[in-house]
Amino acid sequence: MIEDLLNQDRDHLLHPLHHPNSHAHPLIVESGEGIYLHTVDGRTLIDGLSALWNVLVGYGRSELAAAAQQQMSQLAYCSNYAGLANLPVIELAERLAGYAYPDLNYTYFTSGGAEANESAFKTARYYWKRLGKPDKVKIIARQDAYHGVTLAAMSATGIAPYWPMFEPRVPGFLHIVAPYPYRFAGDVRDGESIGEAAARALEEAIVREGPETVAAFIAEPVQGAGGVIVPPHDYFPRIRQICDQYEVLFIADEVITGFGRTGELFALNRYGVQPDILSFAKGITSGYLPLGGIQLSDAIKEVILTAPPAQTWMHAYTYSGHATCCAVALANLDIIEREDLSEQARVMGGRLLAGLLALAEEFDCIGNVRGLGLMCAVEFVADRETKTTGNLAGPILKACLERGLLTRAKGESLLLAPPLIITEEEVDTVLGIVQEAILSVIGER
């Protein structure tokens, strides 16, 4: 029976990032509960990455199913194009006004993160065209950024393996160095911090390209798929100043960091910084249904609302403001608020990080441990001094899975971002599995 399922899958299903080698022994998941997944062959696994960072409230929340059922029975969906609306989308837009940042009070909904970023890029260009600056079209992103993989989002994504088989990329997208303290690829001047040096790379890129050609800078507050890259504290305040100085819009891609993951409801609040455009997705529904969107500053809202008809914001998706997705988002926000999950992420993330730092004391093969809230990474090296890499993350990932912990790696970094409802005991179980997995791998060497 399981063999039949596997054959049907192999014969008929093209998966994201598909290569037959990576799909030789797929796990087929049948159900989930809390932080656990149950597979059809009877295994129980801890979901160490909340699926794709998104299942914040954990699996099996029947109140989200009830919200969907109620809304589907009443009105599953209808168009939300200008001239129409539905009840949950209005309630959600109103609830989200000022929710992330005080100046962001106007929301456009998408079905996911890449669509959100596409909407952000188009809106940035639109804004400058409306203000009589039609040449401000370029988007500056960062190396190791992940912004999705539709064509423009892929062009903003700074992880190079996503590009070659889909070239050419959309013109006008460029990348600067990431604020990655452990392996900073930029130059640091005397007296300058890494955060300042990484932000200077933005200023230099804007000046080199010509500020009159740059529409926006996009950044994840903590780079997720790029390897949980946590920026130095002085980075984003400086980025905000540079964007203001050169009239470049700042797009915060909080598709992962939004709704509590980093221990703040939205991550840039930690630095006292507000973006002009916010992209969100994933956590807004905890993955129970697809939903994303952008929030726009009051200045951008004003420009859209005062446009002559010939300059209408001609951007649209069939599923923008999907009634059932919005109803589930509202119920999901109830859970996040009621259970104070951003505080939970802060506390449990602190425990996870402390445990990982203790493992770094124990094992020389750990070169770097980093994290913010429940977003952590352990980076393995062959040699601590030279930071040269071996081939450790792959075998350790496999050893984790054998011991009941499912997660992903980026290069030599093992990523950990479990659901925000994880308990102390469960954090300790995760740490124990990682410890045993490392031991099993380095013991074999």
Ligand X SMILES: Cc1ncc(COP(=O)(O)O)c(C=O)c1O
Query: Which range, of 43-51, 106-114, 172-180, 406-414, touches ligand X by CB under 6 A?
Result: 106-114
CB of 50 to ligand X, least distance (A): 11
Quick one: 146 or 288, whose CB is closer to ligand X?
Answer: 146
Quick one: 117 or 297, whose CB is closer to ligand X?
Answer: 117
**Contact flag: residue 224 with ligand X (CB under 6 A):** yes
Residues 6 or more apart whose Cβ sits within 8 Å of residue 373: 260, 261, 262, 263, 264, 342, 345, 346, 349
- How many residues form the binding site for ligand X (CB under 6 A)? 15
Which residue in 47, 118, 253, 276 binds ligand X (CB under 6 A)? 253
Q: Which residues make beta-bridge pairs with 168?
A: none
Quick one: 179 or 224, whose CB is closer to ligand X?
Answer: 224
Quick one: 148 or 263, whose CB is closer to ligand X?
Answer: 148
- 204-207: which pairs have CB atoms within 8 A and are 24 or more residues apart? 204/176, 205/140, 205/174, 205/176, 206/140, 206/242, 206/246, 206/248, 207/246
Angle between helices 393-402 and 424-443 (to 10 degrees): 120
CB of 220 to ligand X, least distance (A): 5
Among positions 1-60, residues that touch ligand X (CB under 6 A) are 52
Q: How far apart are CA 393 and CA 319, in angstroms?
A: 39
Among positions 128-187, residues that touch ligand X (CB under 6 A) are 146-148
Among all residues, whose Cβ is closest to ligand X? Answer: 113
Which residue in 154, 159, 216, 225 binds ligand X (CB under 6 A)? 225
Closest among 111, 156, 82, 55 to 294, alpha carbons compared: 111
CB of 343 to ligand X, least distance (A): 23
Contact 229, 207 (CB under 8 A): no
**Contact flag: residue 88 with ligand X (CB under 6 A):** no
Quick one: 285 or 297, whose CB is closer to ligand X?
Answer: 285
Closest among 196, 172, 194 to 185, alpha carbons compared: 194
Quick one: 162 or 438, whose CB is closer to ligand X?
Answer: 162
**Contact flag: residue 255 with ligand X (CB under 6 A):** yes
Binding string, 201-220, against ligand X, x = CB under 6 A? -------------------x
Quick one: 256 or 294, whose CB is closer to ligand X?
Answer: 256
214-219 β-sheet, strand order: 104-110, 292-297, 277-280, 249-253, 214-219, 138-142, 173-176
Residue 58 neighbours by CB distance under 10 Å: 21
Contact 175, 158 (CB under 8 A): yes
Please give the distance of CA 379 from its chain centroid, rounded to a whole number. Answer: 19
Residues forming the site for ligand X (CB under 6 A): 52, 112-114, 117, 146-148, 220, 224-225, 253, 255-256, 281
